[in-house]
Chain A
Amino acid sequence: MTTATAESAATLAPQAYKSEYKPIWCPGCGDYSVLSAFTKAFAALGLKPEELVVVSGIGCSSRIPAYLTSYGFHGVHGRALAAATGLKLARPDLTVVVAGGDGDGYSIGGNHFLHACRRNVDLTYVVMDNHVYGMTKGQPSPTTEPDWVSKLSPAGTGVRVFHPLVIALAAGANFIARAFSGDPNGLAAILAEAIRAPGFSFVEVLSPCVTYRPEQREWKREVRPAPVGSTDDPARAARRILTDDGFNIGVLYRGNRRPYQPPIGKSTAGVADLEKGFER
């Protein structure tokens, strides 16, 4: 965990959000650009590092809190959203951003993902999706294509992929976007919008793993801006997300659900009372 000086946020440049620790991702990894986009978004929003927390789970992308000057919490595998939810409810004054990968978020943490969307706590969840478990040497993840062949999946998985955006929509996320790490400026703009949007914001970032999925270098030729702007109609958003090829970039859905936040200063009698709040 690192803290920053109480320097005026208005004077902070993106570089000021980078800690003294240098990333040790593979050269060419998309996560470098996500880190850069985080710092640009934080600077554009004028966030003070001491009022910002980045929470992560386990995996290559989950190293990101160490590389930032904000507060950070590098939690256990798949549990970043649970920790972040508790933090935000206890400290609603803080800006809480959650970061992780597709394995951490959709497999090990899949259940937390569903319920974080449903609860709609005021968090921003950024998933760096490279369709593979990179840190543990290239196993297929929930977003791996069924016919991707490797030594660890010699015949492919044969299993249909997890569709995080439409699942987030169905579960109740209030802001849904897809971005690309190869466009760090565009990604920074989307992240800033996601952080500003009330409620649970979900940003899926296509972030190539050049070590285990070198073919993902070609993503830069496949991504394109979404042909239409965002909608607040879940049915329309679902249709668009289900029928695109996974390479439309931009804000795809902006809902208007009220974020969950228990009344500050009121004691909660029990877990049942807390659950009532999620039923809105």
Chain B
Amino acid sequence: MSAKKAPAKAGAAPKGKARPPQLRVVKAARPSAAAVRTMNELMAYAYALELEASERYAEFAEAMAAHNNREVAELFRKLARIEHRHAEQVLEDMGWAEPPAPPSAGYRWEGPEGPETADVTALHYLMQPYHVLELALHNERRAHRFFTALAKAATTDRIRRAALGMAAEEAEHVRLIEDWMKRVPPPEPHWDLDPDPPRYAD
């Protein structure tokens, strides 16, 4: 069957205007930490955050592999695996056999996506591992701020403690990436200079 609703009569309001489940057009994507009122909801946020980050890194890995930047592709793949493991850990900790349903009003992040999800336009085909780690560091810092804000707005001690625990985990990830960056050579100036660029328009 076509997904479109049956044609409405001329002049009548079209049918089928109900929004589909689990997808919401967020009118104002501002953080709503106070909206997290239960442990289940908090952990659903944690799961969604990690899973979305994992999917984005996996997408980045594919993009870089297609452009033969193998080292960077492998690093993105590694990050995707790490984030996926974090998402699995949430399921395990909560004893959930299935991924949690999102909140009825949808997830409300600081921006359009979760705080640990890398910006889709952040890639460059010549980028180097250091750039990847910079990106990951930025994302982990945002995740840390997100859970810290959730803890501050928590309405129960249990949620506050759990949010602080997750903030501490994100802080640990920040430290790990900072250490990792010390072992990776920073890019040379003009790292993006390509003697045979794919463009000639300017």
Contact B2 A95 (CB under 8 A): yes
Closest approach, in angstroms, between the C-beta of B36 and any C-beta of chain A?
Answer: 18
A186 cross-chain contacts in B, Cβ below 8 A? 25-26, 29, 112
Q: Chain A: how many interface residues by the 8 Å CB criterion?
A: 68
Closest approach, in angstroms, between the C-beta of A268 and any C-beta of chain B?
Answer: 18
Contact B7 A211 (CB under 8 A): no
B55 cross-chain contacts in A, Cβ below 8 A? 36
Closest approach, in angstroms, between the C-beta of B1 and any C-beta of chain A?
Answer: 6
> B70 within 8 Å of A by Cβ?
no
Contact B112 A152 (CB under 8 A): no
> A160 within 8 Å of B by Cβ?
no
Give which listed residue, A25, A44, A137, A193, contacts B200 with CB less than 8 A: A137
Known contacts A30-B121, A197-B14, A256-B12; decide if A24 and B66 are in contact (CB<8 Å): yes
> A244 within 8 Å of B by Cβ?
no
Kindly specify which of B15-23, B137-145, B146-154, B166-174 makes contact with the partner chain: B15-23
- B1-50 interface (Cβ within 8 A of A): 1-17, 19-29
Closest approach, in angstroms, between the C-beta of A49 and any C-beta of chain B?
Answer: 12
Contact B120 A32 (CB under 8 A): yes
Contact B4 A196 (CB under 8 A): yes
- Separation of A28 and B60 alpha carbons in the complex (Å): 8
- B57-74 interface (Cβ within 8 A of A): 59-60, 62-67, 69
- Separation of A24 and B200 alpha carbons in the complex (Å): 19
- Contact-residue size bin, chain B (C-beta under 8 Å from the other chain): 35 or more
> A278 within 8 Å of B by Cβ?
no
A185 cross-chain contacts in B, Cβ below 8 A? 23, 26, 106-107, 112-113
Which residue of chain A lies nearest to B122 when distances are taken between CB atoms in the complex? A28
B161 cross-chain contacts in A, Cβ below 8 A? none
- Separation of A44 and B20 alpha carbons in the complex (Å): 6
14 contacts between A and B (CB under 8 A): A95-B4, A96-B2, A138-B202, A182-B119, A182-B120, A183-B29, A186-B29, A197-B16, A210-B121, A212-B201, A225-B26, A251-B25, A254-B17, A258-B7
